Amino acid sequence: MILLFLFSIALRGVVADKFDLSNLNWTLKNDNKSIIIPAQIPSQVHLDLFKAGVITDPLIDINDFTQRWIVYDNWTYTADLSPFLDTLTSTTRLPESVLLVAYADPYLFTFDRQTLFGHPVSWVDNQFRQYVFDVTDLILSSDNRDRNITFSFESAFYYGRNVSARPDAETFPGKNGDFVFPGIRYWMRKVPCDFGWDWGPAFVPSGIYKQAFLVTLASPPNTALEMDIKEAEASLDIYKVGQSSAVPPNETVDWLVNVSLSVRSASTFWNPRLAIALPELGLTSEAVLFPSIVKNTTSPTWLQLSWAIPDLAVERWYPHNLGRPRLYNITISLDLCPTSEGCAPLVLTIPTGFRTIQLVQNSYSHEDVRERGITPGDQWHFKVNGKDTYIMGSNLVPFDPFYSRVTDDQVRWILESVVKSGQNMVRVWGGGIYQPSSSDVSGGGYNFYSVCDELGILVWSELIFSDALQPINDFLLKTIEPEVRQNVRRINRHPSNAQWAGGNEIEGIALWTEKYVPDGKHYLNEFLALFQGFLHDIVVSETHSVPYTGCSTTKGVLSLDPYTLRLNNGTPGHIYGNSERFNYDASVAFDYNTFPISRFVNEFGYHSMPSFYTWEEVLTSPDDFLFNSTVVLSRNRHPPPGDLAFPNPNAHEGHHQMSSAVKRWLPSPSKKLSNETFAQWCWSTQVFQAMTITSQVAWYRRGAGQGENNMGALVWQLNDIWQGVSWSSIEYSGRWKVLHYGLTNSFSAVVVNAFWTPENEILQVLVTSDRFNDINGVAQLTWYDWYGNELSSCVYHFTVPPLNNTVLMNVAGLASILPYGKKPSEVWMLLNSTAKVDNKTVTSEQHFTTISLANAAIVDPKISMYVADDLQITLSAQGGVAPWTWIDHPLGTVGVFVDAFTGKPTNGFYLIPGVDRTLKFIIHEPPLAHDKRNFSTTDFVIRSIWNNTRT
């Protein structure tokens, strides 16, 4: 997963050929050869078994349980190399070198004893690394009776059991992060959530999950100069002169463009020259002369060049909500024979951007405390291009249990949905996988960071460690170091990358262990050795442009240089670091006293069911379409079983958390055993999820103007890895949940919100802005009854200071709050705001009741829906107000509903009699793989809270 450039494609003038191993005819076999089937690469064992008809689709029904036998077997991929070897014999000259370049899901990757004349190549144990092996001697051997190439994969389950039983393998207290497969995942450099999580399956897949090549390096015939360079690992790090992880950028000094290029060469080149250019601006560095590139294909030679560019020479890259994500093409030119004619330089072009990122963690000054009312303690927020930036975003999990089938269109839709909902950051969570740069870099498979660069999305990147104490045995550290270096170098070029965190939630586990477990200090010291020392030192040695954080959720630092975590060394009453919130007691879902008072909240969420349409993708029996059916329960992993028990014995608890929340805050769907009742239950859990999460977003954004100076809210979670119960705002198919539409309002640049504390009957209405400048606008607060009659209305003209709030209303007592003579059950308030931001009109719409909708006197709204052929949809209510009016688009489609007039994504609103809403369904283009498109305009379904009373 290193940043790999095949010079035969990316560089001009090199003589090298790349043979894609996917062009071979592969065979997959299990250990006892009872299964022998055709296969392919990139792929994974489950996918090949499915394609061959040995198993059914791994994602349907309870197949993640019934197919566990796959995990317990060893698997071998074999292919006849004759098509490649024949290309060698057809040439007049054999290559100087042959390199094998591959990525594989461990834990055994070799040429077996029957392959390439019985000579093994290597054993590897890290899924997150790129492997390059010189196999010249094996390929060019005169003994060519056996022409097979073989990749063998040991069962990760048994490998984990074996390695954890080593004499030097320590034991850890409790379950130590076990979700399904116990006690093994932290002994392996493999995707942690492959072994199960509380929102996903436990397939433990294996296979050649990314591209693999054989690369031949040959000299041109009749040419004295050999130009056989291959394999570049390139790092492009752009930062300010003097900037480092511990030293903030000076925004006015020159930019430094730092290029590090590794090359493997089949020849020696004397006095090569390296230069950098920015062709769009006509800027070129001086060429740097190097003594030599020595012939070496087993390890790389490193070339490095720094180039200073004046600050004002370039336009800066910004996240999309704050400016333009400006990109440039940087070219790296390597001239191998500067004194010879007819020897063209090798040129590598890298899209990138210029920006500064700082994670501010120093203490608030006495002046801040005294004059701004800031609660004492440390800051914890991002500065982008020298400006304090409010972060609004969500957490990303892997897109699929089987990496090899993730598509670029699938990923782009999720990232476009991030932008459409107003988010400016995604967090690449440390329990998943390092996301690729692009489909053609490092065997990528699909575009990720390159799309974030293009769309203007900041990325919080994490090293792959999550939710467990980590062993620090030498054999692990030996493979972790190149893993981290390769991935940091690869991602350096991307202006979207905002930081590196060492891992996810491990600091809190280590501190808890120190406090409550005998000899707990030992485990805390191991945590510090790995995350405060080892990983920190690697990251900061490879990048100057982004900060490093020891852990995602953290109490901050005592010092950046030397890097020292604060841990429990804090002053009571002060605020440090960041935080998260997960509270599944629905009775306190809207109790502000239970929300964290924090500088930054990097995880908060509530789980919900996927839609009825998503269940249709995986349930094969009509009997399973029930809220508490065995199969539906089996796909709820919250709380996780902690072992191999199936179905999850704790699923009833997770289901109860969802159903009890619906019953408390919404009218409950009936108990009829029907598809419509099941669909309404699924949707109702999503409505509650949207209600509780958007209320938290409002509270955290409000905190930007409070003593905590909150500067970030990252929702858990953005996407789904499969069809099941989860915290996501977007379902596995790409279908938006109610929450994602809710975030579109909550993450508006300027938003109006009502804050209600029932214990003292205080209503406060605020307008919040995330802009760098004062924002002027107008807000309207209107009370209605449930028949849609307007009872009262107030208009407020406001000015909001930068990154702050303006109070529009602060009233105590129901008698002063509610319209005269009305009971809480009879009325609700609509809140609207309009403001000009960057010469664009920004709107916000929210709704408020003082009581649960379960107790509101809602009436039949009698909604009518007209769908035109162009998928423009007009909704009218004739009988009363329809809370949470929702349109479901047809099965097998992916798209978004937008307001027909403003283009803003809109769904899940209050429909008022006499105030029609016109939406348009925008289908995702190009269609995703599962899009059906053969639907009728009658396939759209309308529902509202009233339907809960009628099912």
Domain boundaries, the chain: 16-155+206-215, 252-355, 358-730, 748-855, 863-947
**Residues assigned a catalytic role:** 505
**Residue 227's pLDDT band (cuts 50, 70, 90):** very low
What pTM, to 2 d.p., does this model score?
0.95
Q: What is the dihedral of CA 571, 575, 580, 583, to 10 degrees?
A: 80
Rounded to the nearest 5 percent, the helix, strand and coil shares of the chain are: 25, 30, 45
- The answer to whether residues 330 and 350 touch, using CB atoms and an 8 Å cutoff, is yes
Residue 91 has pLDDT above 80, yes or no: no
The reported pLDDT for the residue numbered 738 is 98
Q: Up-side HSE of residue 777: CA atoms within 13 Å toward CB? A: 30
Task: Work out the average pLDDT over 365-380.
Answer: 96
> What would the two tokens of residue 522 be?
């030992």
Helix (H) or strand (E) holding 718: none
| CATH number of 748-855, picked from 1.20.58.410, 3.10.50.40, 2.40.30.10, 2.60.40.10 | 2.60.40.10
DSSP code at position 773 = S
Query: Which phi and psi angles does 292 have, rounded to 5°?
Result: -170, 160
The reported pLDDT for the residue numbered 824 is 97
Report which residue type is found at 33.
K
Nearest to 729 by CA among 713, 718, 721: 718
Name the 3-class secondary structure at 688.
Answer: helix
> What would the two tokens of residue 318 be?
């910004």
Residue 146 has pLDDT above 80, yes or no: no
Whole-number Å distance between alpha carbons of 176 and 185: 10
Least confident of 135-149, 253-267, 405-419, 476-490: 135-149
What's 863-947's CATH class? mainly beta
Nearest to 682 by CA among 665, 653, 659, 664: 659
Sequence-ordered alpha helix ranges (H) in 576-650: 612-616, 630-634
Q: How wide is the angle at C-alpha 426 spanned by C-alphas 424 and 431, nearest 5°?
A: 170
- Cβ neighbours of residue 8 under 8 Å, at least 6 residues apart? 14, 16, 17, 18, 215, 230
Task: Work out the average pLDDT over 478-489.
Answer: 96
Q: How wide is the angle at C-alpha 524 spanned by C-alphas 461 and 508, nearest 5°?
A: 50
Least confident of 264-273, 322-331, 454-463: 264-273
Nearest to 434 by CA among 43, 45, 127, 4: 127
What's the CATH architecture for 252-355? Sandwich (2.60)
Q: Do domains 252-355 and 748-855 have the same CATH topology?
A: yes
Per-residue pLDDT reduced to its tens digit, 36-58: 999 999 999 999 999 999 999 99
Whole-number Å distance between alpha carbons of 37 and 47: 12
The reported pLDDT for the residue numbered 441 is 85
Residue 12 has pLDDT above 80, yes or no: no
Least confident of 290-294, 359-363, 610-614: 290-294
- The answer to whether residues 651 and 636 touch, using CB atoms and an 8 Å cutoff, is yes
Whole-number Å distance between alpha carbons of 619 and 675: 12
**Homologous superfamily (CATH) for 358-730:** Glycosidases (3.20.20.80)
Per-residue pLDDT reduced to its tens digit, 745-771: 999 999 999 999 999 999 999 999 999
- Which long-range CB contacts under 8 A does 857-865 form with residues at least 24 apart? 857/786, 857/825, 857/826, 858/667, 858/786, 858/883, 858/945, 858/946, 858/949, 859/786, 859/787, 859/946, 860/946, 861/885, 861/911, 861/913, 861/944, 861/946, 863/911, 863/942, 863/944, 865/940, 865/942
Burial class (CB in 10 A: 0-12, 13-18, 19+), 839: exposed
The reported pLDDT for the residue numbered 262 is 87
The reported pLDDT for the residue numbered 114 is 31
Per-residue pLDDT reduced to its tens digit, 616-668: 999 999 999 999 999 999 999 999 999 999 999 999 999 999 999 999 999 99
Task: Work out the average pLDDT over 882-904.
Answer: 96
- Topology of domain 16-155+206-215 in CATH is Jelly Rolls (2.60.120)
Least confident of 186-200, 665-679, 787-801, 865-879: 665-679
The reported pLDDT for the residue numbered 141 is 74
- The answer to whether residues 275 and 229 touch, using CB atoms and an 8 Å cutoff, is no
The reported pLDDT for the residue numbered 458 is 98
